[in-house]
Structures are given as structure tokens and as C-alpha cells.
Structure 1
Amino acid sequence: MSLPHVHMDKHPQVQSFFDPQSNTISYVVKDPDSTACAVIDAVMNFDYAAGRLSYDCADEIIAYVRAQGLQLEWIIETHVHADHLSGAPYIQQTLGGKIGIGEHIQTVQDTFGKIFNEGTEFQRDGSQFDALFKDGDRYTVGTLDCVALHTPGHTPACMVHILGDATFAGDTLFMPDGGSARADFPGGDAGALYDSIQRILALPDDMRLFVCHDYGPGGRSIAWETTIGAQKTANIHVGDGASRDSFVKMRTERDAQLAVPKLIIPSLQVNIRAGEVPRDSDGNMALKVPLNKL
């Protein structure tokens, strides 16, 4: 897949928000020439043991947007997350904006619609979202030129979003000392992940890159901003010209040792619905726990 022309002449302001429960970093990205902004990978808090939702992380984002006098235009999901529930609809209800995800959400919906035995009322066409991005689609946040790149491997619907000189990698890449995302979820593919990462590494070296998760390898402080150049030279999984074969071998062996994310079952049910919680026949919010399916 070719790389679309990227306009790096604008330097958006990026504000991060860290959720310690899921080690997720959410972002507010502001157009430098207007009050327009986008939110990327928002979190809704969930106490699994108590079956209780809360909105501390989303409320923090909402408070920031209001305090800065910003206008929310886009709420971007880089992919269907398996480790946290999306806060997108909660934020949209308060601040507006359009919720967007990659068009291959339809593949993910079909896969997990079967796993969770969803009925015919669950639409598998991505219609729960306001916009479905195709590879290379352009959109704007105020005057800020933005591009969506299809980067499958971790999931079939993963997309990297480029807003000015800032790239948001979702789970495709971690910080250089964290490596890359797992590729063993249904629809994942280590070879496709390597190819997607090579596409990202073809971006300009000085482009800023922001990750969706960080776990503080070696006990270091949590971090989320790096550069394309730093990933090229120092990423422990793909840096310094690592080959596709060696990456696939490493990723396959590593993934076999990883535990299932603690919130994967609730997260997937909610996130394939654009952050809406499913309801039972009485209209109450309720989740399923399919046994021996994942």
C-alpha cells in the first residue's frame, strides 16, 4: 500500500490523559489555528467485579475541552480495543463531534458477533459509527489536515491517524522499548502487523508519534511520545532493519505466553457498538460471558 502525501506544516497541540487501570493514553488534539479539536481513544471506566460503569477519565477530557474553549469535531477510535471500554458516546453526548473508526470494523463485528451470539438486531455494517475511514481518507480538524492509514495486524480494523506532524499509532506500535502489539486475537496476523509497521516507519523521521498504551518496561516512568526516527533505530521488535521472518517468529512465540486482557469480554461487546453498552430484553444494560470462546 502506498503512502499518501502528508502535510507536516502544522504542529497541533497534543494533551494526554493516562488511565492507570488499562494503561491507556487518550488524547485531545487541537488545531493550532482554531479552537477545533479531536479526541483519540477515549476511555470509559469499568469495575468488572462490581459491574459498575463510571466516567472519571471521560469527564477529565470533557473538563479540559471546556476549560480550553475548544470545539470537538472528531472522536477517533484507532481500533476496537480489547482492554478498555470506549468513552466515545459519553463524550459525544456532552460535547458533540463525530465518532469515526476504520471501515474494517465490519470484519470485527462479524467475528465477535458470532462469538457473543449476537442476534440479527446487531448490525454488522459499522452503522453504529458516524464515519468509517478507508485507507488514505483525508479529513480535517478545523484547518488541520488529517489522514487515516489502514494498518492491520493487531486487529483487521486498526488505523493510524496522522494529524499535522503528529501520528497516533493506536496499538500498532508501543514506545521503542515496548516494541509492538500482540497479533493473536481473532483476525490478527503477525505478518500483516510487520507490513503495517514498515508503512509507518516510512513516514518522516522527525514526525511525532503517540502510542495508545504504555506499561513502563523495566520500571521506567510511563511515556507516550516518541518519533518515527526513534522507532526506526531503537524499537526492540522492528528497529534496526529487523526482518519480517524474525518478527513473525518473535511475535508468535511471545503472543503464546501473553495472558488474555482482563477486560476483553466487556470491552469487545461495547466497542463493536461504538461504545454503547448492549441491553437485555428488559432494556437493562447487560453483558454476556461466553465460555471457552476466546
Structure 2
Amino acid sequence: MTPDITAFFDEATNTISYLLRDPESTACAVIDSVLDFDYASGRTDTRSADAIVAFIRENQLTLEWVLETHVHADHLSAAPYIQQELGGKIGIGDRITVVQHTFGKVFNEGTQFQRDGSQFDQLFAEGDTFQIGALTGRVLHTPGHTPACLTYVIGDAAFVGDTLFMPDFGTARCDFPGGSAADLFDSVQKILSLPDDTRIFVGHDYMAPGREEYAWETTVGAQKALNIHVGAGRSRADFVALREARDATLAMPRLIIPSLQVNMRAGRMPEPDDNGISYLKVPLNGL
């Protein structure tokens, strides 16, 4: 089946959120939503999420899932806000517990922070399936960028998060704690084993040099042939060397510190202090 897909591009973080609809019913899902955040003032805003909420309401859709491909390091998730407005279950990969243990230590979280994934409604493992109306979604565990990355295959569409970018931009970095270039190569091969005409929807686009417009949809066949990091039969060893050399030159994402603390909590802020205000920590020399 071919789901109806509407993309919402957030230029501030180069993130694409997706609204996926079952063409035979009102059932829909949101994938990788964005909560707007101004780091300088510490203020959040829901304008990006509100655009998705308004679309769902205007089209009289029923939200069944609010899905995360992974714990994002470059934007805050709006999953709990969207759930509050429209319902649905928040889902992520079951290896979220690995991420929570890793960054629970980095941010020196106390015992109140549960590291069992219980902040999410559904933890998905390799091969799990779920329904969006008449559509069946299938889960691929695709680690490398993070240990908990998933690809959701729904009908003829695959939502790959940060594992793959557009063919002219390559693949995700693997230098965060728990990342692995070798694991990423293996995960990409799993995605590229899907039928060539499978539509691939990427989590970010940074407009590669020579391109004048943002883009976020490609195909398995195009990735096999043209991806500058893994296409044209590049070997595992060559990819690992290329990816690790490139990662060594990259700066940390601008919003990594707030993003990790919020997203490992399923998009919720840390527990408020005695004055009713939530605070984020900055671990000096910790990342």
C-alpha cells in the first residue's frame, strides 16, 4: 500500500517531520516532531508542532502514533505536546534504555530518572509490527548513529531518521557515545535490501553543495547508485575509514545538550525544581 505523506520542514534545525495517513481511513501517525527552542532565552514554542496539529484537525484525522526514529541530538521532540492535543501512543526503539543509561551518567541524573524506557508508550524491537488503520508498519533496528535508531517501513515508504541523508549528502555521523560507523554500514545494508522502488524519507536535509532546494524523498535504488558515502558498492572498511575521518572534523550540534536531556525523557522536561521551574544541565567537558 502507498501511504499519503505530508512533510513539515523546520529550517531552524533542518529537520523534516512527517504526517503519514492511511488512504483508506482517517488513521495517521506523526514521525519525528519538533518542539521549537530558543537556547539563548531558554524558551520553548509549539509553532512547528501546531502546524501538524492543525493539519490533522483540518483533515479530521485520527492520530494513532507519535513515532521517534531515535533520541535526536539536534532538536527537541514535541511528542508529548502532540499527544496531549490529539492522543496517540509515543513509540521508540527498545534500545532507548542503552541511551538513557549512557546519558543518565553524562548528565548525572538522579534515581528519579528511570532508565527503563517507561517514559514511552511503546518500545519497538527488530521485526515488530504495528497498525495505522489498514497500514502495517514494520520495524528495522538500524543502529550506528545511536544504539537505538529505528527505520519504520510502512507500505512502500521507509522513514530512516538520521541513518541516511539524501544521496548527495551521504550518511549520519557516528561519533556520539554508543555510535559506530561499522554498525551504521550494516544498518544501511539492511535498508538497501528493501525493494529499489521503496520511497526513503530522511530525517534532515542540509542542502548539499550544488543543490538549490531542500529535499527529503528519495528511493532505495537511488541510494544504492548515488549515495556519496555508501553507494556504488563501497566496501565496509572504506566506509568506516571515510565516516570516522569525517566525524573527527565535526562540531557538536548546537542543541545537543538540551535535546538529549529532553528527548531521552520522551520529549518531557526534567522534573521542576522547588520553584516550579525545570532546569537543564551543562556538563563541562562531558561530551
Alignment match, 1:82: 73
- 1:291 is matched with which residue: 280, 284, 287? 284
- 2:204 is matched with which residue: 199, 202, 213? 213
- 2:236 is matched with which residue: 230, 235, 244? 244
Matches of 2:63 and 2:273 in 1, distance apart?
Answer: 34
User: SS at 1:129's partner residue?
Assistant: coil
Alignment match, 2:25: 34
What amino acid does structure 1 have at the position aligned with 2:75? H
The runs of 5 or more residues in structure 2 that have no matched partner are none
Matches of 2:44 and 2:108 in 1, distance apart?
Answer: 23
Alignment match, 1:3: none
Shift of 1:285: 1.7
What amino acid does structure 2 have at the position aligned with 1:174? F
Shift of 1:288: 0.8
Is contact 2:94–2:123 with CA below 8 Å preserved after alignment?
Answer: yes
Tell me which moved more, 280-289 or 232-241: 280-289
CA RMSD of aligned residues (A): 0.6
User: SS at 2:48's partner residue?
Assistant: helix
- 1:65 is matched with which residue: 53, 56, 73? 56
Matches of 1:262 and 1:39 in 2, distance apart?
Answer: 24
Alignment match, 1:21: 12
What amino acid does structure 2 have at the position aligned with 1:292? N
What amino acid does structure 2 have at the position aligned with 1:78? T
Tell me which moved more, 281-290 or 198-207: 281-290
Structure 1 runs (4+) greater than 2 angstroms displaced = none
Is 2:275 aligned against 1:272?
Answer: no
What amino acid does structure 2 have at the position aligned with 1:211? V
Listed as ranges, the matches of 1:148-187 within 5 Å are 148-187=139-178
Alignment match, 1:147: 138
User: SS at 2:144's partner residue?
Assistant: coil
Percent of aligned positions that are identical: 64
Is 2:218 aligned against 1:229?
Answer: no
The runs of 5 or more residues in structure 1 that have no matched partner are 1-9
User: SS at 2:185's partner residue?
Assistant: helix
- Alpha-carbon displacement from aligned partner over 1:227-275 (angstroms, at most 9, x marks no partner): 0000000000000100000000000000000110000000000000000
Shift of 1:220: 2.4
What amino acid does structure 1 have at the position aligned with 2:229? H
Shift of 1:20: 0.7
User: SS at 1:217's partner residue?
Assistant: coil
Tell me which moved more, 118-127 or 212-221: 212-221
